[in-house]
Homo-oligomer: A and B are copies of this chain.
Amino acid sequence: MVQVAVMGHGVVGSGVVEVLENHRDSIAKRAKEEINIKYILDIRDFPDSPYANKFTKSFDDILNDQEVKVVAEVMGGVNPAYDFTKRCLLAGKSVVTSNKELVATKGAELLAIAKDNNVNYLFEASVGGGIPIIRPMSQCLAANDVVEIAGILNGTTNFILTKMIKDHMSFEDALKMAQELGYAERNPAADVEGHDACRKIAILASLAYGKHIYPELVHTQGITKITLEDVAYAASWGGVIKLIGQVKRLEDGKLDISVEPMLIDSSSQLAGVDDVFNGILVKGDATGDVVFYGKGAGKLPTASAVVADIIDCVKHLKARKYLYWADGDASLVKPYEETEYPVYIRLESDDKTKASEKVLELFPGAKVIARTNAPENEIAFTTGSISVSESDKAIAELEKNGISVKSKIRISDL
């Protein structure tokens, strides 16, 4: 019998307790040990819970109990999760988590502490909810060099974009609907501004390339400025707009990593990933393209991923799983302004002839795209590959000529 503790009794935490209890027998069989929840840590009271006798408000109860070998940290946020996790690892307890913010900001340090103390720090649930991705990437793809990762990593924004694309709802209406359905928080910034996706691609990139890529090194842009006009142009171009978290290694060894809305071709494997689903494409040099697809969030999917990690820790109480990356710094990442890719641009001008001339002068090879019912003064076009700084300069030049640039969106090569 192995004793575990669950820190946090919110959505995921209560799901972890539920899964551990409801699958007690099959889990014991797989872990080759019975697993018992000894403590549940929460500052709130749950007098009516069937597990009321397990609750504690004191982290020290868990820390000081030598019997507790594995701790699930499902509190979210950096504080006090960071401090609690560190002290558990230092005390020789393995920790599993769904806390993407903590892994993305403190992963290298916590992994090093886990290594030094011969325990495990696992975080399958931090990316993709119930979709297995961390473990397949670190194990099954062990014999590959990861060439590129691209993913739809946030279900909320994907739901909103799907509503905009399929039902022509405005961003505001689709966000409201997502909130009503419980897919989006009342304060939706972490989702719609791309921060959640940023943490996830930072974790995947760190794992794939072995060095910590901190979230602040990832150019991050949300979907709040995407309009139905852009969605319509994407359709006539032959694709859809998705919020993509992407990382690839450039020829100079640096990483091109970003989270931003992108136009992706309809034939791309991610184009059909709709609603609250996540899809993650991993290109290996040997495996080719492998895609993982499923619901990226939700109480039970995420909880089951946490429990799978608990089982793995119980099976490896005296061995370490290979899940590790070293510290990293800004030198790993190509400055965003220097990255190059084609873009879609939409603008408004009362003198369309002059505007078109200016566009062709500044973006040689630009191709105009059309949409039905476009206002008279609208022009949209796609460009060839161009660096961010160059395209920004050209856009400033357009603006100087009285041309109002409404949108600029990256075109993906997926």
Count the A residues whose beta carbon is within 8 Å of the partner chain — how many? 50
The minimal Cβ–Cβ distance linking A375 to chain B, given in whole angstroms, is 34
Interface of A is mostly: mixed
Given A288-B295, A289-B295, A294-B291, check contact A308 B143 (CB 8 Å): yes
Report the minimal beta-carbon distance from A242 to chain B, rounded to whole angstroms.
Answer: 15
Q: A20 to B144, alpha carbons, bound, how many Å? A: 10
Contacts of A97 in B (CB 8 A): none
B286 and A304 contacting across the interface, CB-CB below 8 Å: yes
Known: A30-B322, A308-B139. A145 touches B23 (CB 8 A): yes
In the complex the two chains form, is B139's CB within 8 Å of A290's CB?
Answer: no
Closest Cβ of chain B to A79, distance in Å, is 28
Selected from B20, B131, B319, the residue in CB contact (under 8 A) with A290 is B131
Residues from chain B with Cβ under 8 Å of A140 in the complex: 124, 132, 135-136, 305, 308
Q: Is A333's beta carbon under 8 Å from chain B?
A: no
Within 8 A of B (CB), among A252-306: 269, 272, 284-295, 298, 300-301, 303-305
In the complex, whether A63 has a CB less than 8 A from a CB of chain B is no
Asked if A44 is at the interface of the complex by the 8 Å CB criterion, the answer is no
Which residues of B are found within 8 Å of A290, using beta-carbon distances?
130-132, 292-294
B298 contacts A288, CB within 8 Å? Answer: yes
Q: Which residue of B lies closest to A26 (CB)?
A: B145
Cβ-neighbour of A287 out of B26, B301, B311, B319 (below 8 A): B301
Q: Does A27 contact B (CB under 8 A)?
A: yes
Return chain B residues, CB-CB under 8 Å to A288. 130, 294-295, 298, 300-301
The answer to whether the Cβ of A367 comes within 8 Å of any Cβ in the partner chain is: no
A393 interface residue per 8 A CB criterion: no
A105 to chain B, nearest CB (A): 24
Q: How far, in whole Å, are A312 and B140 apart by their CA atoms in the complex?
A: 9
A307 at interface (Cβ–Cβ under 8 A)? yes
Which of B142, B304, B315 is close to A30, meaning CB atoms less than 8 Å apart? B142
Indicate if A54 sits at the interface (CB-CB under 8 A): no
Query: How far is the CB of A335 from the nearest CB of chain B, in Å?
Result: 27
Report how far A307 CA is from B286 CA in the complex, Å.
Answer: 11
> Can you name 7 A-B pairs with beta carbons within 8 Å?
A26-B145, A130-B290, A142-B307, A142-B308, A143-B307, A285-B300, A291-B293
